[in-house]
Chains A and B, each alone.
Chain A
């Protein structure tokens, strides 16, 4: 069965510190994509970063990077120099390339403390 697991329901982090949000996945597909989305309290879903299963380098987008460890089936999101505006729910999702269905984790609520 295809599944995404986010083991941290909530996290508190001091402003300006780096934070790592965990994501592990389970799939039998050889080719797939991994996504991270941010959902602030206003409710919208904001795409952050993508990693393909065959990408050799870890994806980076500004302060966001994805620590992709294929053998361990993990795709952790790293946010460098956290800001108060990073407080939000963060969702990890996977899409097997055999179809377009996104499989979602339950999310991690991140709170940045001033």
Chain B
């Protein structure tokens, strides 16, 4: 089954404790992206990647890191989480091309105390 997986689905942590949210897709997509969703703000892009070893900042990259060492994986790293990073996080992927929609993972609900 074609899918984007994220782990963990739920995470409660404390300020300053490094964490990684994993994202993996099995569709051989070149493009991958991380979003955060906050009430009333829609989705905002954190980072994206057009291919292996190619990453770029989105609209809200501060406090986040990513890497793209393999085509299928695109982990999101919070080196020192803060309460304002409490949010719902989505990973998405798509092939490159005009029409292609982005496929989304199930989301990771993160709470930073």
Contact = CB atoms under 8 A, between A and B. Distances in A.
Contacts of B45: 101-102
Contacts of B98: 31, 33, 52, 97
A43 B106 contact: yes
A91 B42 CA distance: 8
16 contacts: A43-B88, A43-B106, A43-B109, A44-B107, A50-B99, A50-B101, A52-B99, A91-B43, A97-B98, A100-B48, A101-B33, A101-B45, A101-B48, A101-B58, A102-B45, A102-B102
What is the size category of the interface that chain A forms with chain B? 20 to 34
A33 B43 CA distance: 17
A105 B37 CA distance: 11
Nearest to A48: B101
Interface of B: 31, 33, 40-45, 48, 50, 58, 88, 90, 92, 94, 96, 98-99, 101-104, 106-107, 109
A16 B42 CA distance: 28
Contact of B101 (A47, A97, A106): A47
Contacts of A106: 40-42
Contact of A104 (B44, B99, B101): B44
Contacts of B42: 4, 91, 104-107
Nearest to A100: B31
